[in-house]
């Protein structure tokens, strides 16, 4: 075991660039001095030693590349350039190329490691252990080993390790790692806790509902980690480009080596030198890393805001939106009814509300809930009779209370106008009606205004609800277009029409339960408030974990910034490479510049991508 460890250590040491650079320099510097003093033979020996010692691993990988039949391997290209430079009598340049390449690789590794670590710390929401209570004893287990239905203890300040339901205790819950919302919510017995949330101000015991692997935090991490698999257009462009780029530059290098001497433009050494520099620039690594690195940063940044992009493919359409289509209920509105308007016929409004709420007390219908939360006083109800699809009749404080729709009223012998809401009859006399409304989300107007400022031309609504409700919400938010009373297939065909009409992309925002077809069909489908709803996550291209609409403009902004950085990286990588190729062929720059165009550009692209990772948290 120890021997194995030692071997591992040595291997790692031998891989470490700083050591090889140092060793190389130990020979390279004396060699330079001796060459200057005129000891050519000794200095050549030292140059060769410097190249072999610092470049050993590069040569070995290059050799493996040849065995695999892989001629466009970075290491092979570097080796050929370095050895080639030696052969044409540019020993010093050969060593410099190798050292410079190692320095570049070293920086590249540092930069990649830094980005990886910062993403990991953003995503560090999954605790490794859970405190399990069994037979009155506490034991700390690996979260993965905790069986479903175990009882776990979560103390104040700890992260919820596994999705669970509270069985005792009360606490506040900070869901910000999951939803990006910083306001803690309070939690009572019976409430579900999602893994990754932080318990505050009290300890709770809870029964686990899932295994750690299928809990919220693990699913989110999985989504983010696999996000890279859905390739964007920019990514496939750069992959295709690098596939033709390398062979083209490689052939240019060959022409560079052969043609000028044949036509007598340059002597052989000069043209070989330029050809070798070309070889160095032909390496595709900087290109290949430029785009995914930017997207990786953007995906990580968004995740810390509770916005999950399912792949790099959402960035382009999300940065170029022309229309955003909203579902109404649960998306623009809270999805919860509130009492809007009381129209008494012949009694005090408060009394009407109290009696109606009391009669409905036992019901879980959304209307009953709205009545209960609006009423100031509630009395016990007896002799409750429910008429399915019509309403309820009960005796409250000795009064016979009938609450229901027009069918119930017709049954009782009243004729009432057909409107939204319920009618109330007291002791066989019509007493008035109560209207309801679905409350518009408080942040909706500001969020929509921000979308317009971000350049979205059209905001529209597709709703399954009644026209007047849809129009009320639409007018309050000054939407450009309101479509109501739609069935799911009607929504889909209208959405398809919009996709065909718009030049830019059409985004569909829904709460995900019945919006799956539209989420899947839109250029970008964004599911909201979907912590835990698998079908929505499945169908959508992006998921906003909270139901806060202000995350929507945030999502657009992050996508834009990321897309911009990815494009900058493409221009940077291709631009610098093209420029260096030009400079080299005109003999303005040497081989060291070519190495910069290879590893230096990769480092720059990674550093630039780092910007995508950084974003203000609102």
Residues that bind other proteins (CB under 8 A): 11-12, 14-15, 57, 60-61, 64, 68, 70, 73-74, 105, 108-109, 112, 115-116, 225-226, 228-229, 242, 284-285, 288-289, 292-293, 296, 602
Minimum distance from residue 381 beta carbon to other proteins (Å): 57
- Measured CA distances, 227 to 32, 426, 510, 570 (Å): 50, 60, 21, 20
Residue partners of 415: CB distance under 8 A and separation at least 6: 409
CB 214 within 8 A of CB 299: no
Separation between Cα atoms, residue 100 and residue 589, nearest integer Å? 15
Nearer to other proteins, 482 or 599 (CB): 599
SS (H, E, C) 527-579: EECCCCCHHHHHHCCEEECCCCCCHHHHHHHHHHHHHHHHHHHHHHHHHHHHH
Q: Both tokens of residue 77? A: 């290209």
Q: Mapping DSSP to helix (H, G, I), strand (E, B) and coil, where does residue 161 land?
A: coil
Instruction: Between 591 and 602, name the residue whose CB sits nearer to other proteins.
Output: 602
In terms of CB distance, is 235 or 523 closer to other proteins?
Answer: 235
d(CA 392, CA 372): 15
Q: Which is nearer to other proteins, 56 or 476 (CB)?
A: 56
Least distance between other proteins and beta carbon 314 (Å): 17
Query: From the CB of 283, what's the least distance to other proteins, in Å?
Result: 8
Residue 576 beta carbon to other proteins: minimum distance, rounded to whole angstroms: 17
Q: Which is nearer to other proteins, 15 or 466 (CB)?
A: 15
Q: Which residues are annotated as catalytic?
A: 327
Q: What are phi and psi of 90, to 5 degrees?
A: -105, 55
Which residues lie closer than 8 Å to 83 by C-beta, 6 or more apart? Answer: 51, 94
CB 562 → other proteins: shortest distance, Å?
Answer: 14
Specify the residue, 180 or 298, whose C-beta has the smaller distance to other proteins: 298
Residue with tokens 């060593």: 95
Closest approach of other proteins to the CB of residue 181, in Å: 26
Q: How far is the CB of 305 from other proteins (least distance, A)?
A: 19
Choose among 229, 329, 291: nearest CA to 529. 329
How many whole angstroms separate alpha carbon 88 and alpha carbon 294?
Answer: 40
Instruction: Give 272 or 293: the residue with its C-beta nearer to other proteins.
Output: 293
216 to each of 46, 162, 310, how far by Cα in Å? 59, 8, 16
Contact 265, 236 (CB under 8 A): no
Query: Residues 110, 115, 119, CA angle at the centre, nearest 5°?
Result: 145
């Amino acid at each position: 075991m120890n021997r194995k460890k030692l071997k591992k250590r040595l291997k790692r040491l031998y891989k470490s660039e700083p050591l090889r650079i140092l060793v190389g320099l130990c020979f390279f510097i004396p060699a330079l001095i001796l060459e200057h003093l005129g000891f050519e033979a000794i200095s050549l020996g030292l140059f060769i030693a410097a190249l072999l010692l610092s470049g050993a691993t590069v040569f070995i990988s290059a050799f493996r590349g040849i065995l695999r039949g892989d001629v466009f391997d970075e290491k092979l290209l570097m080796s050929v350039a370095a050895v080639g430079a030696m052969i044409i009598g540019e020993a010093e340049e050969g060593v410099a190329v190798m050292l410079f390449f190692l320095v570049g690789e070293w920086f590249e590794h540092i930069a990649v490691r830094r980005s990886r670590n910062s993403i990991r710390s953003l995503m560090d929401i999954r605790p490794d252990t859970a405190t399990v209570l069994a037979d009155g004893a506490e034991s700390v287990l690996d979260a993965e080993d905790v069986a479903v239905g175990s009882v776990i203890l979560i103390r104040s300040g700890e992260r919820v390790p596994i999705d669970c339901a509270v069985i005792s205790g009360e606490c506040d819950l900070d869901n910000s790692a999951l939803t990006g919302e910083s306001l803690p919510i309070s939690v009572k017995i019976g409430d579900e806790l999602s893994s990754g949330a932080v318990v505050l101000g009290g300890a709770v015991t809870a029964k686990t509902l899932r295994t750690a692997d299928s809990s919220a935090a693990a699913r989110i991490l999985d989504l983010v980690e696999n996000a890279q698999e859905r390739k964007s257009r920019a990514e496939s462009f750069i992959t295709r480009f690098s596939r033709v780029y390398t062979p083209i530059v490689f052939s240019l290098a060959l022409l560079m080596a052969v043609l000028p001497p044949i036509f007598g433009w340059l002597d052989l050494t000069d043209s070989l030198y330029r050809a070798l520099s070309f070889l160095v620039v032909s390496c595709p690594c900087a290109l290949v890393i430029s785009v995914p690195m930017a997207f990786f940063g953007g995906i990580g940044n968004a995740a810390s805001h509770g916005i999950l992009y399912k792949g790099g493919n959402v960035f382009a359409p999300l940065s170029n939106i022309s229309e955003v289509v909203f579902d109404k209920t649960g998306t623009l509105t809270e999805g919860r009814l509130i009492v809007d308007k009381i129209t008494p016929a012949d009694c005090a409004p408060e009394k009407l509300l109290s009696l109606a709420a009391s009669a409905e007390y036992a019901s879980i219908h959304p209307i009953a809930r709205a009545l209960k939360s609006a009423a100031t006083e509630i009395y016990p109800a007896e002799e409750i009779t429910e008429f399915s699809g019509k309403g309820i009749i009960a005796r409250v404080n000795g009064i016979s209370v009938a609450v229901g729709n027009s069918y119930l009223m017709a049954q009782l012998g009243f004729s009432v106008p057909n409107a939204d809401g319920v009618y109330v009859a007291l002791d066989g006399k019509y007493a008035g009606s109560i209207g309801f409304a679905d409350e518009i989300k408080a942040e909706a107007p500001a969020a929509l205004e921000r979308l317009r400022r971000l350049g979205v031309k059209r905001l529209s609504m597709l709703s399954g609800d009644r026209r007047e409700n849809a129009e009320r919400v639409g007018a309050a938010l000054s939407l450009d277009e309101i479509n109501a009373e739609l069935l799911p297939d009607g929504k889909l065909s209208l959405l398809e029409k919009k996709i065909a009409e718009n030049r830019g992309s059409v985004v569909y925002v829904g709460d995900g339960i019945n919006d799956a077809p539209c989420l899947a069909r839109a250029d970008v489908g964004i599911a909201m408030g979907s912590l835990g709803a698998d079908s929505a996550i499945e169908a959508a291209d992006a998921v906003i974990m909270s139901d806060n609409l202000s995350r929507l403009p945030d999502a657009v902004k992050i996508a834009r910034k990321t897309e911009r950085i990815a494009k900058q990286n493409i221009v940077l990588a291709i631009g610098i490479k093209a420029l260096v190729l030009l400079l080299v062929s005109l003999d303005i720059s040497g081989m060291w510049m070519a190495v910069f165009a290879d590893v230096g550009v990769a480092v720059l692209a990674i550093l630039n991508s780092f910007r995508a990772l950084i974003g203000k948290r609102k």
